Structure 1
Amino acid sequence: MFLLFLSACNAAAAAAAADDDGLEIFILSGQSNMSGRGGLQSKRGADGSMHKVWDGIVPQECDAEPGSILRLTATLEWEEAHDPLHHDIDTAKPTGVGPGLVFAASLLRSRDSVAKSEEKQPRKKPAIGLVPCAVGGTTMSEWKKGQFLYDRMIQRTKVAIEKGGTLKALLWYQGESDTTSNALGASFGSKLATFLQDVRTDLQSPDFPIIQVGIQWGHHPHPAILEEVRQAQRAAADPSKHVYIVDALGLPLQSDNLHLTTEAQTTLGLMLVEKYNIHFLSS
């Protein structure tokens, strides 16, 4: 499969920006492709009904030293991170592999590689704290300030910080649900802009990086609306304001033409690492 290799200078810049102590907090939020549907397969139950189950296959890119990556549980406790990261957050449907664990493990490897090349001591562990918040099938209206999903995301992030972490970035993958009607598509851009501003205000972090994922949907019934949402996502990206975008267009999809495969989620995780490290190189 396609592998994205981080440049040494990018990884060094990100490592220099990292704290020596405490967790680096990354919010994982949006809808199902951030939550993770990679590796879900149809299985027939004892009663003859079909349902989705995760195949249990974890990409090798998720490998990390024990205790180096934690996730905040639904009960606001830190535990060892493992896929599916959103199993107790996005509970209405089965979850599988998303981009979050690949991102975290690959970020640590890039830093360890730089430290080794510069003969530095490896970072103290644990290093990264992931805060899963994504829920499948949700629209931008459900991520409005004052709504349950938005308020829970802010609360979970604040708890993570209070437990001894430093907010580093929001990884945001949402928009498919807003391509299902003209009204949703037309209002998507303004809602996204308000969301991005509210997140920074409520977390008191006006400049922290936000990396959004440009959506795709194969054989979409309303391609014009899909493109309208994608254009709004691109318009929201502004590196001078530390808002970035990576594009999922062209990554392999499952048979539903909507959800990324495990291979695609792995590639996306690496793309997110590259964009995150470029942020530090250009800041």
Structure 2
Amino acid sequence: MIRPLICLLALFVTVFAAAEDASLPAKDKFHLFLLVGQSNMAGRGVVEAQDVVVNPRVLMLSKEGKWVPAVDPMHFDKAAAGVGLGKTFGQIIAEANPGVTIGLIPCAVGGSPIDTWKPGVFYPATKSHPWDDMVKRVELALPAGTIKGILWHQGESDSQAGLAETYAGKLSDLVKRLRELVKAPEVPFIAGQMGVFDEAPWSPEKVLVDKAHRDLPKEVPHTAFVTAEGLNHKGDKVHFDAAAYRELGKRYAAAFLKMTK
């Protein structure tokens, strides 16, 4: 009975928050972060009370294109959207930078292969154009703030024969195109590791995709890799649970702070 009540509270807070535009700081004090990838970036964790606590210096771009207080679920790609890593990441970065406000731009699309993150590509599973939809949100967000980082979590959909072998090159190309989009050639790009679960041994193809993530900092300047070792899944052997997403957010934040200290 408690969990449904928490979910109802989360829905109420989200609707209430979305009803009001947040007051924005000066552009140089509004630090923007792009959240891109598939379902483990969007988040599939069960929403709890802590996930709807508002921090006035952590905002998100809503589905409607408004800057509102960040609460989970931040994404809206599928009905299953829940707790992700973004909110925790934003809170930590805000704490480390007392004079700024953090703006999170949720753009992840559950199940999307890396090939769907190209101009004009339609993704039937969500009836969307992942890249083109992201571009619209970025163009809406950038006039208000300053881009500071790109967070990427994706790879499960490419962990199959015929796709994994070419993933590394596509990832490097994606980083280049994203940086061109946000007009910041050296903006930090952080890639997170796919779930490492004892109950779900990796295929050779998944090992290849993981290697591309791990090797990215050696191949592309101003990038980082975040491990998912020791984190639990939500029971489906694919998606992290809520606690794991929060921990993953901490690891992304630690990587970003190390890159920019």
TM-score for the superposition, normalised by structure 1: 0.74
Say whether 1:159 aligns with 2:140. Answer: yes
Shift of 1:22: 3.8
Return the alpha-carbon distance in structure 1 between the equivalents of residues 30 and 191 of structure 2: 22
Q: Given that residues 58 and 97 in structure 1 are in contact (C-alpha distance below 8 angstroms), is that contact kept between their aligned partners in structure 2?
A: no
Comparing 236-245 and 206-215, the one that deviates more: 236-245
Alignment of 1:244-255 (within 5 A): 244-255=224-235
Return the alpha-carbon distance in structure 2 between the equivalents of residues 101 and 32 of structure 1: 15
Amino acid at match of 1:235: D
Corresponding residue for 1:135? Answer: 109
Return the alpha-carbon distance in structure 1 between the equivalents of residues 227 and 69 of structure 2: 29
Alignment of 1:189-208 (within 5 A): 189-208=168-187
Return the alpha-carbon distance in structure 1 between the equivalents of residues 164 and 233 of structure 2: 22
Q: Given that residues 214 and 225 in structure 2 are in contact (C-alpha distance below 8 angstroms), is that contact kept between their aligned partners in structure 1?
A: yes
Q: Given that residues 54 and 69 in structure 2 are in contact (C-alpha distance below 8 angstroms), is that contact kept between their aligned partners in structure 1?
A: no
Q: Given that residues 185 and 225 in structure 1 are in contact (C-alpha distance below 8 angstroms), is that contact kept between their aligned partners in structure 2?
A: yes
Shift of 1:271: 0.7
CA offsets per residue over residues 137-178 of structure 1, 9 Å max, x none? 11011112333211221221121011x200010110000111
Distance change >3 Å, CA 142–CA 240, structure 1 → 2:
closer
Corresponding residue for 1:73? Answer: 62
Query: For structure 1, which runs of at least 5 residues remain unmatched after alignment?
Result: 1-18, 40-55, 113-122
Say whether 1:145 aligns with 2:119. Answer: yes
Return the alpha-carbon distance in structure 2 between the equivalents of residues 255 and 154 of structure 1: 34
Say whether 1:228 aligns with 2:208. Answer: yes
Return the alpha-carbon distance in structure 2 between the equivalents of residues 21 and 111 of structure 1: 12
1:30 equivalent among 28, 37, 42: 37
Corresponding residue for 2:87? Answer: 101
Amino acid at match of 2:113: T
1:70 aligned counterpart, secondary structure: strand
Q: Given that residues 54 and 71 in structure 2 are in contact (C-alpha distance below 8 angstroms), is that contact kept between their aligned partners in structure 1?
A: no
2:104 aligned counterpart, secondary structure: strand
CA offsets per residue over residues 22-43 of structure 1, 9 Å max, x none? 421111110111101111xxxx
Q: Which has the higher contact order (CA 8 A, sep 6+)?
A: 1
CA offsets per residue over residues 54-84 of structure 1, 9 Å max, x none? xx30447x7553x312111222221121110
Query: For structure 2, which runs of at least 5 residues remain unmatched after alignment?
Result: 1-25, 122-128
RMSD: 2.1
Alignment of 1:90-129 (within 5 A): 90-91=77-78, 93-112=79-98, 123=99, 127-129=101-103
CA offsets per residue over residues 115-149 of structure 1, 9 Å max, x none? xxxxxxxx26xx01110001111101111233321
Say whether 1:184 aligns with 2:191. Answer: no
What number of residue pairs does the alignment pair up? 228
Amino acid at match of 1:57: E
Comparing 215-224 and 94-103, the one that deviates more: 215-224
Return the alpha-carbon distance in structure 1 between the equivalents of residues 219 and 211 of structure 2: 16
Return the alpha-carbon distance in structure 2 between the equivalents of residues 188 and 240 of structure 1: 14
Corresponding residue for 2:255? Answer: 275
TM-score for the superposition, normalised by structure 2: 0.80
